[in-house]
Amino acid sequence: MKPTKDYEIMLFKAERDYQSGKVLYENELEEGAIYHYQQAAEKALKAFLIFNKNKVPKTHDLTSVLDICIEFDSKFETLYDACEKLTPYATIFRYMDTGYGLTPTHDIVDEAKNEAFTILQFVKNEIID
């Protein structure tokens, strides 16, 4: 089914970012994978805001976006740790070595994948319910 509503489009984009992350990870492109996992989580949270007819902030800081989601539904508080972990991955491996190395380890990417999946599924369940 083709997404037609703005929140459906944003959720579709979130799912595509998640799938892109998986493909990159399978091809040992960890820095690209972790970025797409962060983006999947970001777009999922923003889809929830759009669903609730709220203005979407222009930020990659997932905890800031999450704070707004919590205003609509306190259950989102359970995602705080995941958002805190994923937020830096929007930038730290995309440019020069920022002290974290040139690429993330497999363990870090695996954790990011799981955190992104958790956020994506949580938002999908909240929008569908």
How many C-beta atoms surround the C-beta of residue 59 within 10 A?
13
Instruction: Note the pTM of the prediction, 2 decimals.
Output: 0.94
| pLDDT of the residue at 101 | 72
Rg of the chain, C-alpha, whole Å: 14
How many C-beta atoms surround the C-beta of residue 120 within 10 A?
22
Q: Tens digit of pLDDT per residue, the chain (129 long)?
A: 677 899 999 999 999 999 999 999 999 999 999 999 999 999 999 999 999 998 999 999 999 999 999 999 999 999 999 999 999 999 888 876 666 677 899 999 999 999 999 999 999 999 975
